Amino acid sequence: MNSAYTSLFKPFTFRSGLEVDNRIMVAPMTHYSSNGDGTISEQELPYISARSEGPGVVITACANVTANGKAFPGQPGINDDAHIPGLKQLAEAIHEKGSKAVIQIHHGGVECPPELVPNGDVLSASDLPERGARALTDEEVKEVITGFGEATARAIEAGFDGVEIHGANGYLIQQFFSPHTNKRTDAWGGETATDRLAFPLAIVDAVKKVVAEKAPKNFLVGYRFSPEEPETPGLTMEDTFVLVDALAESQLDYLHVSLMEAHSKARRGADETRSRLSLLHERVGKLIPLVGVGSVHTPEEAVSVLEEGMDFVALGRGLLIEPNWVNLVKNGEEAHIQTVIKVSEKEKYVLPDPLWNVIMNAGGWVPFEE
């Protein structure tokens, strides 16, 4: 292995006691490939298996915790005990290749297409008539929180090593934290970022309670968040500092910073000449492990994320194109890493057909050539 990449292969022990032998995670990626009822399909297992040999942690695609939280066709579910057998197969496929298995748990909120939720009843933190969504009632808010706890119990029963709470990318948890989508005046809203923490922290508490009661002592709990929103009003780095301060006190195992470009700079609410990752490291990096992600394709780029103060780097599209990325770097064969899908060699990528079709039709989201 090239000595420039040794930082990627340092072992790490999480707060929970779980040990991994490197700093590389598979980022959670929507694959559109589960069965219509949310159970794991036959195509998912070889897809995840091909990407589980080498990384320290594999985070699987977001799974909806309630029936009204489904945001994608072909999304895996974790809202019913009937999902457990397939989820167990998914965890086993990852373990067989030597990686730790974490499942991301999720509710889409206003991002849920009406055709995917019961009665087309799309829900969010507040009424958003322009987007066809209504506000969750107090009782429904509590049902969703319970759903995250019950999903965690199913993840434990299925044999996963942890869960990642999906509080990023504009989904329901972020909708409650954001001033753009939360106009509530009850206990689940308010004018300040601290007021709007009620829902995210209630979910963290519900998940942790189940973990304390049912999980092995080394079970991971992570939390993914998006640092800023482009809208006004919308989340700023100043708001996000309030969030990460609270999460750092919650005894979580890691925070996962969701970015399209890892080294992107702050937009507002902090020093705009600095990257969001460096600002977050400065704020809470000594209190909780941080995971960086965003357009990382080469080992040099992966190392640069760690140099920003991250403890881990997560790879998404890079592993869609090159499933064997980690071992190629580890074995000094990084020159063989592909950065473009070759359509003529479709079978080598072990991609489910629905995901392949999305890639072919998404206008360069994942680069490909004939």
CATH number of the domain that residue 255 is part of? 3.20.20.70
| Mean pLDDT on 341-352 | 96
User: In sequence order, which ranges of the chain are alpha helices (DSSP H)?
Assistant: 44-50, 84-96, 138-158, 172-177, 198-214, 237-248, 276-284, 299-307, 317-321, 325-330, 353-361
Q: What percent of the chain has pLDDT over 70?
A: 100
The DSSP output letter for 232 is: S
pLDDT at 363: 80
Q: Is residue 359 part of a domain?
A: no
| Mean pLDDT on 134-139 | 98
Q: Is residue 233 part of a domain?
A: yes
Note the pLDDT tens digit of each residue in 94-114.
Answer: 999 999 999 999 999 999 999
Q: Is residue 205 part of a domain?
A: yes
pLDDT at 370: 84
Cβ atoms within 10 Å, residue 96: 11
Q: Is residue 354 part of a domain?
A: no
Q: How confident is the model at residue 365 (pLDDT cuts 50, 70, 90)?
A: confident
- Main-chain phi, psi angles of 141, to 5 degrees: -55, -45
pLDDT at 364: 81
Residue 142 in tokens: 């509590």
- The tally of domains found in the chain comes to 1
Contacts of 293 (CB under 8 A, 6+ apart): 27, 256, 257, 258, 259, 262, 305, 313, 314, 315, 316
Q: Are 32 and 74 spatial neighbours (Cβ–Cβ below 8 Å)? A: yes
pLDDT at 18: 98
Q: Residue holding tokens 């496929």?
A: 93
| Mean pLDDT on 33-44 | 98
Q: How confident is the model at residue 68 (pLDDT cuts 50, 70, 90)?
A: very high
Contacts of 290 (CB under 8 A, 6+ apart): 254, 255, 256, 257, 277, 280, 281, 284, 309, 310, 311, 312
Q: Is residue 48 part of a domain?
A: yes
Closest CA to 266 of 251, 281, 256: 281
Q: Is residue 367 part of a domain?
A: no
Note the pLDDT tens digit of each residue in 195-248.
Answer: 999 999 999 999 999 999 999 999 999 999 999 999 999 999 999 999 999 999
Is the model's pTM score more than 0.95? yes
Active site residues: 171
Q: Is residue 223 part of a domain?
A: yes
Average pLDDT, the chain: 97
Closest CA to 42 of 34, 51, 50: 34
Q: Is residue 197 part of a domain?
A: yes
Q: How confident is the model at residue 251 (pLDDT cuts 50, 70, 90)?
A: very high
Residue 147 in tokens: 């759903």
- Main-chain phi, psi angles of 187, to 5 degrees: -65, -15
pLDDT at 168: 98
Note the pLDDT tens digit of each residue in 258-277.
Answer: 999 999 999 999 999 999 99
The DSSP output letter for 77 is: B
Cβ-count burial 31-69 (b if 16+ within 10 Å, e if not): bbbbbeebbbbebbbebbbbbbbbbbbbbbbbbbbbebb
Helix (H) or strand (E) segment spanning residue 334 = none
pLDDT at 176: 98
**For residue 332, what are the domain limits?**
3-340
* Burial class (CB within 10 angstroms; exposed 0-12, middle 13-18, buried 19+) of 283: middle
